[in-house]
Amino acid sequence: MHYKGYDVAPAAQALPGGLFAANLVIQDEVSLLKPAFIFDELDYFFESDLAVAYAARWARMWIDDRPLRCA
């Protein structure tokens, strides 16, 4: 997904014991040479779709809290 100039890739990782970890990769669309921001195991859920939704929501909040970029 795209959000405010970033590529956002939320994901759920199946863990032993039946839980899913909410993982996230955020990449700046303007400068693909910059390293991606990688967030592993933001939280844990019993359903994979809840983990993905949480990571996507977390990404929007993280991006919204970033200082504005100068073009």
Establish if 53 belongs to a structural domain. yes
- Is 9 within the bounds of a domain? yes
Separation between Cα atoms, residue 41 and residue 43, nearest integer Å: 5
Q: Is the pTM of this model over 0.75?
A: yes
- Position 34: which residue type? K
Per-residue model confidence (pLDDT) at position 69? 59
- State the total domains in the chain: 1
Q: Answer whether residue 59 is part of any domain.
A: yes
Give me the residues of the chain with pLDDT under 50, please. Answer: 71
pLDDT of residue 70: 52
pLDDT (0 to 100) of residue 71: 47
pLDDT tens track for 58-67: 999 999 998 8
Q: What is the reported pLDDT for 34?
A: 81
* 69 in a structural domain: no
In a domain, 60, yes or no: yes
Question: Is residue 41 assigned to a domain?
Answer: yes
Domain residue limits at 49 = 2-64
